[in-house]
Amino acid sequence: MLRTLGHGIYPALVFAMSATAIAGPEEDRNALRAFYEQRFPSVELDAHGDGAYALDAAKREQWLEMEDFPPYEIAIDDGADLYDEPLADGSSYADCLGEDAPVVKQHFPRFDAVSGEVETLEQRLNNCRTAAGDEPWDYLGSEMSSLMAFIAYESRDEQIAVEIPDDPRAQAAYNDGKEFFYTRRGQLNFACSSCHVSMAGNALRAERLSAALGHATHWPVYRLKWKEVGPLHKRFIECNSQVRAEPLEPQSDSYRNLEYFLTYMSNGMALNGPASRK
Ligand code: HEC
C-alpha cells in the first residue's frame, strides 16, 4: 500500500502540468488530481484530506489513537463560547457572517470585489470585529484559532466550494498563489511543489510528505509540536523556514493568494477540520 517513489518518475506528467501554466484554475485542478491518481492508484483522492496519514499505515495507526481523544476539543468549546459573545455594538458573528453561519468555512478564502483582494475567513472574522468596534485579534493567537476551530467543526463534511469569479483581479490573485507554490526559494532551493508534488509520498527524515491535494481541508490544526491549535499560515511559515527562506507574515498578500490557490485545488473535497497532526 505504501509506495516510495524516486524523483522524475513521471516526466510526461510533469511536462503536462507545466504546459497547463497558461490554463485556467479548473484545468489546473484536474491536472493535479490526475497526477495524484496516477501516483497513488490505491489512495482515494478524498483520503488526502488526512494528509500524510493517507500515505503511511504505521503513522495512521498512531494518528487514529490521537484522534480518539481529540486534542483540539477544548479549542472547539472555547470557540463556541467566543462565537456566542456579543460584539461591542451588540451584534453577533452570525449577523456578520450571513444566514449560513456558522457553516461558512467551505466558501473561504473568497475574492472580495470591494477591496479587490482575497479575503480569508480569519480576515473576515477580524473585519466583523473591527466593524463592530472591537479590537482585531492576533492571527496566530488562541482566540482566533479557537473561533476558527469552532467554525471548522460546524462546517465539517461540507464540500469546499471556493470560487474564482470572472474578474481579472481574482484571476491575478489565483495566478500569484500558483506561482508562489511552484517557485523555488530559500538556501535549499525547494518549491512547495518539490516536496508536496514531485516528492509526495516520499520520506523526508522522520516524516512522510503529504500531497498538496487536501492541504486546505482540515484547518486549524492541533500539532503536538506546537502544543496548541494553529492556522494554515503558521504551517506556511514553517515550511518556508524549513528550506531556509524568509517566512512572510500570516495573512500577508502572498500567503492569502497561496491559500486561495491551494484551497481551490481542494475544491469538492469534504472539510474535516479541526484535525490533529504530529
Ligand atoms: C523541504 C520539503 C518541504 C517544502 C519545500 C514544503 N513543505 Fe510543507 N511540509 C513538509 C513536511 C515534512 C510536512 C509535514 C509532513 C506532511 O504533512 O507532509 C509538511 C506539511 C505541510 C502542510 C500540512 C499538511 C497537513 O496534512 O496538515 C501544509 C499545508 C504544507 N506543508 C504546505 C506547504 C506549502 C504551501 C509549501 C510552500 C510554501 C511547503 N509546504 C513547502 C515539507 C515541505
Task: Note the pLDDT tens digit of each residue in 44-69.
Answer: 999 999 999 999 999 999 999 999 99
pLDDT tens for each residue of 129-161:
999 999 999 999 999 999 999 999 999 999 999
- Is the pLDDT score of 3 beyond 50? no
The confidence score (pLDDT) of residue 22 equals 58
8 A C-beta contact, residue 217 and residue 273: yes
Say how many residues make up the chain: 278
195 CB within 6 A, ligand 1: yes
Ligand 1 geometric centre to CA of 127 (Å) = 29
- Contact (CB, 8 A) for 44 and 206: no
Separation of alpha carbons 82 and 260, rounded Å: 26
| Conformation bin of residue 195: beta by default, left when phi > 0, alpha when psi is -120 to 50 | alpha
Say if residues 2 and 56 touch (Cβ distance below 8 Å).
yes
120 lines ligand 1 (CB under 6 A): no
- Asked if residue 265 has its Cβ within 6 Å of ligand 1, the reply is no
Residues 6+ apart with CB under 8 A from 189: 243
Q: Indicate if the alpha-carbon torsion angle 260, 266, 270, 276 is positive or negative.
A: negative
Taking a C-beta distance cutoff of 8 angstroms, is the pair 221, 229 a contact? yes
Q: What is the mean pLDDT of residues 111-116?
A: 97
Residue type, 22: I
Residue 1 has what pLDDT?
34
Q: Is the pLDDT score of 214 beyond 60?
A: yes
- Tens of pLDDT, residue by residue over 223-263, are 999 999 999 999 999 999 999 999 999 999 999 999 999 99
Establish whether residue 190 lines the binding site of ligand 1, counting it when its CB lies within 6 angstroms of any ligand atom: yes
CA of 166 to the centre of ligand 1 (A): 30
Ligand 1 pocket test, pick from 239, 246, 255, 257 with the greatest ligand atom count within 8 Å of Cβ, gives 239
Candidate of 197, 213, 235 to mutate for ligand 1, largest count of ligand atoms within 8 Å of Cβ:
235
Distance CA 275, CA 216 (A): 11
Question: How many of the other CB atoms lie within 10 Å of CB of 182?
Answer: 15
pLDDT above 90 covers a percentage of the chain that reads 92
Query: What's the pLDDT tens digit per position in 10-48?
Result: 444 444 454 444 579 999 999 999 999 999 999 999 999
Percentage of the chain lying above the pLDDT 70 cut: 92
Q: Which three cell numbers stand for residue 255?
A: 500567503
Backbone torsion region of residue 201, taken as left when φ is above 0, otherwise alpha when ψ lies between -120 and 50, otherwise beta: left
Number of Cβ within 10 Å of residue 81's Cβ equals 11
Contacts of 113 (CB under 8 A, 6+ apart): 165, 167
Whether the CB of 207 sits within 6 Å of ligand 1: yes
The three cell numbers of residue 183 are 517557485
- Determine if ligand 1 sits within 6 Å of the CB of residue 178: no
Closest CA to 233 of 225, 241, 79, 185: 241
| Cis bond before residue 102 (omega within 30° of 0) | yes
**For residue 10, what pLDDT is reported?**
44
For the chain, the distance separating the N- and C-terminal CA atoms, rounded to the nearest angstrom, is 22
Ligand 1 center to residue 28 CA distance, Å?
Answer: 20
Closest ligand 1 atom to the C-alpha of 214? 26
> Is any atom of ligand 1 closer than 6 Å to the C-beta of 51?
yes
Q: What residue type is assigned to position 97 of the chain?
A: L
Please choose from 180, 210, 244, 266 the residue to mutate so as to test ligand 1's pocket, defined by most ligand atoms within 8 A of CB: 210
CB neighbourhood size of 270 (10 A)? 17
CA Rg, the chain, in Å? 18
74 pLDDT above the threshold of 60 = yes
Atom of ligand 1 nearest to the CA of 275: 27
